[in-house]
Amino acid sequence: MKLKNPPVNSLSLELLTELVISLEKLENDKTFRGIILTSDCPGVFSAGLDLTEMCGKNPAHYAEYWKAMQELWLRLYLSNLVLIAAINGASPAGGCLISLTCDYRVLADNPKYVIGLNETLLGIIAPFWFKDTLMNTIGHRASELALQLGILFPPAEALQVGMVDKVVPEDQVQSTALSVMAQWLSIPDHARQLTKNMMRKPTADRLVKHRDSDIQNFVSFISRDSIQKSLQVYLGKLRQKKG
């Protein structure tokens, strides 16, 4: 499955919705047992949340957008399919989150392909379920440093901290993901699925239980004048770069 929302695979409302629908189709078709998730945009896996969805819109739109983000995370995190991220580009913030929901991560060895939850650098906060996903992957202390400092890890450091499982030359990312997939598919599905659920369900249940309050928190935070201003400044800088 290739993410294709040029130029940087921002997680727009449309992309989030299409991803959920595609996942549902594949999960309901018993001929599919696994997905390799990768990018069709050169140099970027996904730049994460689409800031234009969070800027200058009304509270109802923010709520709809955040609900779609929650839905995608829940679907990916608890998927019965084997999910392998073939990370062939930079993966900050929401892009990192999507890769962390997968069962296994293969990252291309390119110093520009950084990965991490860098929300604090933009003056925003990674929600508790982003934090939980990271903590389940790299542990408490490493998460504490990574989240507070908004660290974007280059490949060797991402491997060292356990954010990815393998770093390989760029031209070997897909073939490595395929051979890893073969290893995962050699395990009986039922036993693997139950084990995955046992490991992950308590984390997912926390969001399910607090889903509405998480949406309210997001909407009230993103609607603040100060946050809207800083997002506008940041978007302005991005547009200047493009220009």
Mean per-residue pLDDT over the chain, rounded: 96
Place of tokens 């450091």: 157
5 is catalytic: no
- Which entry of 116, 119, 122, 207 is annotated as an active-site residue? 119
- Which entry of 34, 89, 94, 95 is annotated as an active-site residue? 94
Residues 37 and 102: beta-carbon distance below 8 Å: yes
- Which entry of 11, 15, 37, 49 is annotated as an active-site residue? 49
243 has pLDDT over 80 = no
Residues 84 and 34: beta-carbon distance below 8 Å: yes
202 has pLDDT over 90 = yes
At 11, which amino acid appears? L
Q: Which residues contact 102 (CB under 8 A, 6 or more apart)?
A: 37, 76, 83, 84, 85
Tens digits of per-residue pLDDT, 35-64?
999 999 999 999 999 999 999 999 999 999
Query: Which string of DSSP letters, residue by residue, matches 34-66?
Result: EEEEEESSTEES--EE-GGGGSS--HHHHHHHH
Residues 55 and 107: beta-carbon distance below 8 Å: no
**What distance in Å separates the CA atoms of residue 157 and residue 162, rounded to the nearest whole number?**
8
Instruction: Quote the domain boundaries for residue 54.
Output: 2-241
**The pLDDT of residue 234:** 84
Domain count, the chain: 1
49 is catalytic: yes
Residues 196, 14, 112, CA angle at the centre, nearest 5°? 70
CATH at 8: 3.90.226.10
pLDDT band (50, 70, 90) for residue 93: very high
94 is catalytic: yes
15 is catalytic: no
**Cis, bond preceding 7 (omega within 30 deg of 0):** yes
**The pLDDT of residue 230:** 85
Give the whole-number percent of the chain exceeding pLDDT 70. Answer: 99
Tens digits of per-residue pLDDT, 117-174?
999 988 889 999 999 999 999 999 999 999 999 999 999 999 999 999 999 999 999 9
Residues 6 and 52: beta-carbon distance below 8 Å: no
Name the token pair of 108: 């291309």
